[in-house]
Amino acid sequence: MTKDDSTARKARPLTVRWADLADLILIVAREIQFRGYSDERAVQLSQSEGMVMRHLVLHASATPSQIAAATGLQRTNVSPVLRDLETKGLIERHVDPQDRRGVSVHRTRRGAENYALVRKEWGSAVSAAAGGDTAGLDAAVALLKTI
């Protein structure tokens, strides 16, 4: 990129530059989601399953309602996602001993291992796509964490 290209890019309105960033985030997310995994041990997850597993990495236990609120999924859509994750052996549901109507969701050891494996694959994919260039990596991560 020449100095003139850089100056022209910076002269673009902020709203357009933020929209460009949002668009690029979506493109990268789609590429990661649909590329598959090189490690045959990795369990492919749908976007909704990935959001639930990400929540359970941050919270050891959660109710289906808490998961719905945290992920933005409709409560009625959480049940089939949980059923699929349970079938894959990535989560367990436990009945609340105080209120037998309540259920708490926990990731299994396999779920934790799969999430770590998938994150490694994501990192490798993004690193390869960037040609291993780490010049703006920390700044990009810091910016995305604030969004």
Mean pLDDT by 10 residues, the chain (147 residues): 61 93 93 86 91 94 96 95 98 87 93 94 91 94 92
Q: Please give the pLDDT value at position 134.
A: 94
What residue type is 34 in one-letter code?
Answer: F
| Pairing, β 91-95 against β 103-107 | antiparallel
Q: Please give the pLDDT value at position 11.
A: 82
134 phi and psi angles, rounded to 5 deg: -105, 10
Q: Please give the pLDDT value at position 3.
A: 62
Q: Please give the pLDDT value at position 36.
A: 84
Q: Please give the pLDDT value at position 33.
A: 81
Q: Please give the pLDDT value at position 27.
A: 92
CATH architecture of 35-146: Orthogonal Bundle (1.10)
35 phi and psi angles, rounded to 5 deg: -80, -20
